[in-house]
Structure 1
Amino acid sequence: MDWPKFLSETEGQIGQFQTKAPDTMKGFGTMSRAAKRDGALSEKTKEFVALGIAISTRCESCIGFHARSLVRLGASREEIIELLEMAAYMGGGPSVAFGAKALDAFDQFSAIQTKGT
């Protein structure tokens, strides 16, 4: 899968939904910012949790968004692998399959960031 293209298309679709349900999307955005704010847990830690949940719920869009955020936050490939091990332990075969997708997404977004620096 071309993760950057997939997320771009998803963002376009979400944008279309936002035009039809602006109050809902405004509320979702407010909730997102509040949930990711640094506190007792860092934003990076919270994004690791979100990626684990995305894998367990088999949400490809969520996997892409949170993998991209983890690249932005400086997560290492080793950290991602350990997260995927835990997801596999907790979620079995489906989490192994979707964990592999998450690693691919992380690698693609990491390659883009590396080219940009």
Structure 2
Amino acid sequence: MDLQRIEKILKKEPDEAAEELLKEVEKAYGEIPYILDFMKQSPELLVTKILYDNAIFREFKRLDLKTIELISIGVSAALRCEHCLKMHIRVARRLGVTKEEIFDAILIAGSLSNAAVLAEGTRAIDSEKLKDECEVCGIPEEREEG
């Protein structure tokens, strides 16, 4: 969306601008995502969210729509956002993405999520010295009972 178009939208009343943008979202996605429908109650926030999201998801041409949806599927799966995941799967299917490609995106997300858990956990272990651990070799020292 070019700056002149954005300027025209921003000159409209918030309710009118929100309705116009929601129609464009529905045209692009084939449906209106739940959160955007919910945000109709706050048109000023809705308009800015849609414009921001549009700038990221739809305006640059470095990634095609299928790739964007596969990334969205992977992130939604990793974040465990069931509603986002199901919506992005529906959008991807409308774009011709296969079930196997969707599954691959979910597998990649799962693998990275697993790696993130392992990396965070092992870094925490390494960063915390046990009180009774030998500074040189890391072997726990024996305590004298008494």
- TM-score, length basis structure 1: 0.60
Aligned to 1:26: 47
Stretches of 4+ aligned residues off by more than 3 angstroms: none
Q: Secondary structure at the match of 2:71?
A: helix
Instruction: Give how far 1:14 is off.
Output: 4.7
> Percent of pairs identical after alignment?
26
Q: How far apart in 2 are the matches of 1:89 and 1:59?
A: 17
Instruction: Give how far 1:63 is off.
Output: 0.7
2:82 to 51, 60, 65: 60
Q: How far apart in 2 are the matches of 1:32 and 1:61?
A: 17
**Higher percent of residues as helix:** 1
Gaps of 5+ in 2: 1-30, 115-146
Asked if 1:75 corresponds to 2:79, the answer is: no
Q: How far apart in 2 are the matches of 1:72 and 1:61?
A: 17
Q: Quick one: which amino acid aligns to residue 47 of structure 1? A: E
Q: How far apart in 2 are the matches of 1:16 and 1:82?
A: 31
Q: How far apart in 2 are the matches of 1:62 and 1:49?
A: 12
- TM-score, length basis structure 2: 0.49
How many pairs align?
A: 82
Q: How far apart in 2 are the matches of 1:85 and 1:68?
A: 18
User: What per-residue deviation string (whole Å, max 9, x for no partner) do you get for residues 52-88 of structure 1?
Assistant: 1111111112112211110111101111121122112
Relative contact order (C-alpha < 8 Å, sep 6+): which is higher? 1
The alignment yields a C-alpha RMSD, in angstroms, of 2.1
